[in-house]
Each structure stands twice: as structure tokens, then as C-alpha cells.
Chain A
Amino acid sequence: MEILFNIFVQPFIEMFTAPDLLIQVLWEGFVSGTLYALIALGFVLIFKASGVFNFAQGIMVVFGALSLVGLYSLGVPAYVALALCILIMFLLAATVERFVMRPLVNQEPIILFMATIGLTFFLIGFGEFVFGGEPKLMITEELGLPTGSYDIEAFGGLIILQQIDISAALIAGAMVAALAVFFNKTRIGRALRAVADDHQAAMSVGITLQQIWVIVWFAAGIVALATGIMWGARSDVSFALQIIALKALPVLILGGLTSIPGAIVGGLIIGLSEKMLEFYWGPMLGGSIESWVPYFVALIFLWFMPQGLFGERIIERV
């Protein structure tokens, strides 16, 4: 009886009696959610254009953030370092296309997946060699990102909105929106979807696969860099950051691997449910359920919607 009370009644009483806490939790969930959406988007871009599940997306987040911090510590001004990082992400995209994708064109997806695992470990080794393994601080203030917080008195309590969280949500939202428009409404976006659907037909209208691959890996690199900056500012910049990329997996299961709106909604669902479950139901299970509960939520979704919320229905005329 007491268990049922703890599950079905107690949390809702808490929500009702302390609405300020509820809003705080929802806000935290929302911010995490937008960042998860951004990471998931990196996966979706590459998967849509090349059918490759890019295991290296997580390490690209770390690599982008480390390059930024590393360049700054060498005395490069913050904004110049940011521009150089964008260039580095482009070079990474071109290198991956030339030395990983191109030799493996027309191979099975699993082989390309293995290649991205190889790429992950290469980047880990290379990153540690160049930047060292110890955690670093993100150059938040130098980049002009606000670090203070807004304390709002409302609902009989205090709601604290970190300014970095607000900017993270805004930047993530803007990037997601820009990418969605770009890939749905422009020539290059159409070319990208064309490549995703049928390589040969795409080539027959004059689309070059190599160019499209460089563009999507570059776009995924920019997304990774932005994620690295935002997440790095909330904690610190270390190789442990790549773990958060794994949080994108339940997001992708929810949203479907091929859907940009799916990545957004999936990210928000995972972010919100993770924080809500952690705060209200976590103590009952001994706390720290945040690390596994998203996978559990995704598993339950899988039972009912194996293609994800927005995954492409497979239409086959027989």
C-alpha cells in the first residue's frame, strides 16, 4: 500500500504543494532536453545522408570543445579560436570523407559503423596526445556567454534560471530550427535527402556523394562543437563528456533515426522525463536514476512504436 502511495500519490502532492520546485525541475529538464536534441541531430544528419550510425559523434563533441580550450590556452583570442575550431571541424569532415567514407563506399552499414568506432578511438588517442587527458574549464566568459543567474520569486519560492542555461536553450533551439529549414527547403537539403534515398538516382541528377558527405559531417561537427561549448560550460571539458552522447541513443530510439522533428521532440521528452523521474520518483529507488531511466523510457516506447515517434514508415508496394 505504501509503495503504491509513494508512486501514485506522494509525487503529485509534492508537485502541487511546491509548484516552484516543479517549475525548476521542468526547466532543468527542458535545458537538458534541448542539448540532447542537438546531439541527436548530429546523429540524424549523418544517418540520413549516408546510412551510417556515427558512433564518433560523442567524441566529436569532446574534440570540438578541447580544441577551443586548447587554442585559447595557447594565447589565441577566444573568437579567433572559435573560428579556427569551425575550420578544424571542416578539416575533420573532409578527412573523414576522404579516408573513411570514400574507400568504404557501397559497403554494408555495419562495416561503416565499425569504421566510426575506429574513428572514435583514433580521436580519443589523438585528442589525449595533443591536449592531454586532464579536465579543463570551458572559456565561457571569454566567449561572451553570460554566467550569472536570474532569481525569480514566484509560486511561494525561488526559481533560479542560470543564464548559461538560457543561452544554451536559445542557441540549441536556433541551431535546430536553422538546420530543419536548411535540410527541408534548400537545394543542398534536397540533395542530402536524395542521397539518403537512392545513391544512384542522386548521382544521375549530378549530385556528388563526396560533396554531400563533407557537408553533413561538417554540419554534424558544428553541432558537436556547439554541444561541447554548452555542455562544457555547465560542467567541464573532459573525455567524460562523450558519455552524454550516449544519452542521444534513447532520444534516437524515441524520435526515429531519420527524423529532425523526432530528434527535437525525443530530446525534450528524454530531458523532461529524466529530471522529473529523478526528482520525484528517484529517492524511492535510492536516487541517481537519471543515468539509466532514459533507456528504460525508450525501451517502453520501443514496445509500442518500433519505428519511433517520427521514424519513416516503411512503405513497400507489393
Chain B
Amino acid sequence: MTTEAVTSAEAEFRETTSDADAAASAVAARPIAADREIVLAVDSVSLSFGGVKAIRNVSFDIRKGEVRAIIGPNGAGKTSMLNVINGFYHPQIGTITYHGKTRKQMRPYLAASQGIARTFQNVALFKGMSALDNIMSGRALKMKRGLLWQMLRFGPALREEIRHREVVEQIIGFLEIEHIRKTPVGRLPYGLQKRVELGRALAMEPELLLLDEPMAGMNLEEKEDMSRFVIDVNDHFGTTIALIEHDMGVVMDLSDRVVVLDHGELIADGTPSEVQANQSVIDAYLGVAH
């Protein structure tokens, strides 16, 4: 790549991102998160698969009530980072502090039971089940009646089922998916599947919501809907959100602070405008002229 080409691409990158940022600040100045309580801290985490180093010595924190974006080029280790946070991957080095407890590794059950919910890059729904049942499965940990009551399915177990169904109906209303309640999710278009997946995560009433590319593969209208849901979840329920996204406009719009990863390393951490002005971020995205 010639120097000239880089400069013009760079200008374009700055232009698109600053546009979006201006739009966001015009709508609502998002509160500064820097002095809030830390919900989750990742400290010096390194993760490798055999010889491949997916994450190298990464540290950052997520503060209460913020929308924290994790961005970076393909293969930067973003999804691996989410997998470390909710315990699918166990880092070789480093610690994760959540709920005031520092651990070498999370476990998926522990993460879920302590309020970490997530969605997946390639929708991971229960394809044979209806949208309603998918979202209900997000209540798995909230329902307490034991095996015996479940077998009988009357009295307390039935009341419990009904109470949780009410919560789920509210989520269905919130996500505007009433009409597909009973449809097996395998038959739904991609955009709606993503919405059901968000619903399942919301049904867990999470404290920290991890969204892995919630807008990937969506058209403009679907992206706008999804952005609205993310903002509403953050505003109304005060849910802390960490999201991975490729669409720079969306990232600049939604997030309070941004972590930038490249080849498994953290190369920038700051507000959207700080990050977009950072030379190493621009280099990582556009390549450096040699």
C-alpha cells in the first residue's frame, strides 16, 4: 500500500467515525463512566491454543452501567476475550475479577449464576424450540423447584412456571417479537434470530451482558432496531454491556469506552473519540505503509 492510499483511507476512516460520533453526542451526551464502580476486571490475561497466542497480556476493566465496546480486526482475539470472561476458555496466565472475587478462571455455570449473560457471533439458539421456549430457557437458573415437583408439574412448580412466563412475555413485548412467539427459531430470518438470542440473554436478568457482534449480517433497518434495543437495555435496566462490533458507526454511537485489540494485544483503551484519534488503531485497521 502506498503512503498516499493510506492517507486517503485514513481520512475516510476519521470522517465516517467522527460523523457517527457527532450524531451520538447530538442525541444524548452519554455520561462519563471513568469514575464508576468496576464490575469486571481482566488483569494480565494471556491465552494460547498450542502455539497460537490468542490473547497476550491484556488488562482492562468494565464499569457499572457502561457500554464497553471491544473492537479490532479479524483474529484480534475479541471473541476469545468474551469466552474467557464467561468461562468457556481458561487463560494460562492472568486473573478475572468479578463480584469482588479474583479468579484464575471463570466457569460457565458460575458466570451465568452470577449474572453474566451472552449472545454468540453465529447465532447459537436452540433451533428445534420455539422463540418462547428459547427465551424461557434463559430462566433456567431462576427457577428453583426440584426434579420431583417438575415431574408432577402442579402446585408450586406450575405457579413458578406461570410467574416466569410473565417475565418472559414482558421481554417478548420489549423486543417486539410477539408475532413469532410460537415459531421454531430455525425457521426465522437471521435478524429475528439475533433478537430472540438477545431475549434469551435478557431473560437471565443479567448484570453484565456480553454481545458478540449483535449486528453482524443485518441490514440497516435491523441494525437500527438492534441499536435501539441495546441502548434501551442499558438505559432502562441499567445493564452493563460489553459488545464486539465491526460497524464503526455503531460502535461510536453506542459505546462509552472502547478497548481495541490487535493480534491478541491491547493497543488502545479510551473513549470513542480518543480511540479513533489513536495512530496505532488506525494503523491496525488500515495497515502501515512500509
Contact = CB atoms under 8 A, between A and B. Distances in A.
A258 B129 CA distance: 13
Contacts of B189: 317
Interface string A167-207: 00000000000100110011111110110111011111111
B88 to A, nearest CB: 7
A197 B128 contact: yes
B137 A190 contact: yes
Interface in A134-178: 178
A193 B126 contact: yes
B5 interface: no
Nearest to A312: B128
Contacts of A181: 153
B120 interface: yes
B112 A193 contact: no
Contacts of A204: 86, 108, 112, 117-118, 120, 124
Contacts of A215: 147
B187 A206 contact: no
Contacts of B112: 203-206
Interface string B95-117: 00000000000001100110001
B124 A200 contact: yes
B204 interface: yes
B127 A182 contact: no
B78 interface: no
B126 A198 contact: yes
A194 B137 contact: yes
Interface stretch (B138-146, B173-181, B251-259, B268-276): B138-146
A225 to B, nearest CB: 16
B161 interface: yes
A95 interface: no
B140 A200 contact: no
A101 to B, nearest CB: 17
Contact of B129 (A178, A194, A207, A315): A194
Contact of B88 (A182, A196, A200): A200
Contact of A205 (B88, B133, B137, B161): B137
A193 B128 contact: yes
Interface in A89-141: none
Contacts of B147: 188, 215
A208 interface: yes
Nearest to B86: A204
Interface residues of A, number: 29
A196 B125 CA distance: 11
B57 interface: no
Nearest to B210: A204
A188 B150 CA distance: 7
Given A186-B161, A203-B108, A191 B127 contact: no
Contacts of A312: 128
Contacts of A196: 126, 128
Given A187-B150, A188-B147, A206 B127 contact: no
Given A182-B153, A186-B161, A194-B137, A205 B129 contact: no
Given A187-B143, A188-B147, A315-B127, A205 B153 contact: no
A198 B125 contact: yes
A206 B150 contact: no
B128 A206 contact: no
Given A186-B150, A186-B157, A215-B147, A206 B129 contact: no
A172 B117 CA distance: 40
Contacts of B151: 178, 182, 186
A73 to B, nearest CB: 31
A205 B112 CA distance: 6
Contact of B140 (A178, A198, A207, A315): A207
Contact of B117 (A178, A190, A205, A317): A205
Contacts of A191: 137, 140
B186 interface: yes
B45 interface: no
Interface of A: 178, 181-182, 185-191, 193-194, 196-198, 200-208, 215, 258, 312, 315, 317
Q: Which 4 pairs of residues, A with B, have the shortest CB-CB distance?
A: A206-B112, A201-B124, A197-B126, A203-B108
20 contacts: A185-B153, A185-B161, A186-B157, A187-B143, A188-B150, A189-B150, A190-B136, A190-B140, A196-B126, A197-B129, A198-B125, A201-B120, A201-B124, A202-B137, A204-B120, A206-B108, A206-B112, A206-B113, A206-B204, A315-B184
